[in-house]
């Protein structure tokens, strides 16, 4: 199951299985509201994983409670820590390396090393 599928399933659970109710949902304060259709909206900043994490925090109120959550029947449970369990650590590291190669960044100068501009 993907994060988007998990969000959709959670929204269906919240709406008692009615896809029509999910479409008409007015709970805009819900962290996963923008993803309720199971598709990526055109303009949304947080990723589906971050919104799942926010929803879990909304549900239980603190980080330790999210980590120790025993509600394994919740569709969001595998993604509660903000990571996709379908991606291995090896794949995650490979993706980091690809990103690093594509977008090499320079370390910012140490504090005080930047000359102040004089006008």
Given a cut of 50, is residue 86 above it in pLDDT? yes
Q: How far apart are CA 81 and CA 105, in angstroms?
A: 28
Q: How far apart are CA 30 and CA 32, in angstroms?
A: 6
- Considering the chain, what percentage of its residues have pLDDT values greater than 70? 87
Q: Chain centroid to CA 62: how far?
A: 16
C-beta of residue 48 within 8 angstroms of C-beta of residue 37: no
> Mean pLDDT over residues 103-109, rounded?
64
Q: Poorest-confidence range of 31-40, 87-96, 110-119? A: 110-119
> Mean pLDDT over residues 30-45, rounded?
87
Q: Mean pLDDT, the chain, as a whole number? A: 86
Q: How far apart are CA 111 and CA 36, in angstroms?
A: 44
In this prediction, residue 117 has a pLDDT band, given cuts at 50, 70 and 90, of very low
Q: What is the pLDDT of residue 106?
A: 56
Distances (CA, A) of 45 to 79, 93, 107: 18, 23, 25
> Can you give the pTM of this predicted structure?
0.73
Q: What is the pLDDT of residue 22?
A: 94
Given a cut of 60, is residue 94 above it in pLDDT? yes
C-beta of residue 88 within 8 angstroms of C-beta of residue 18: no
> Mean pLDDT over residues 22-41, rounded?
91
């Amino acid at each position: 199951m993907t994060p988007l599928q998990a969000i959709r399933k959670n929204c269906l659970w919240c709406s008692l299985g009615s896809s029509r109710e999910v479409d008409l949902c007015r709970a805009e304060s819900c962290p996963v509201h923008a993803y309720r259709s199971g598709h990526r909206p055109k303009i949304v900043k947080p990723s589906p994983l971050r919104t799942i994490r926010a929803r879990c925090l909304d549900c239980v109120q603190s980080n330790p409670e999210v980590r120790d959550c025993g509600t394994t029947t919740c569709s969001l449970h595998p993604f509660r820590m903000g990571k996709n369990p379908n991606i291995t650590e090896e794949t995650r590291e490979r993706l980091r390396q690809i990103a690093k190669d594509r977008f090499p960044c320079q370390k910012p100068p140490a504090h005080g090393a930047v000359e102040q501009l004089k006008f």
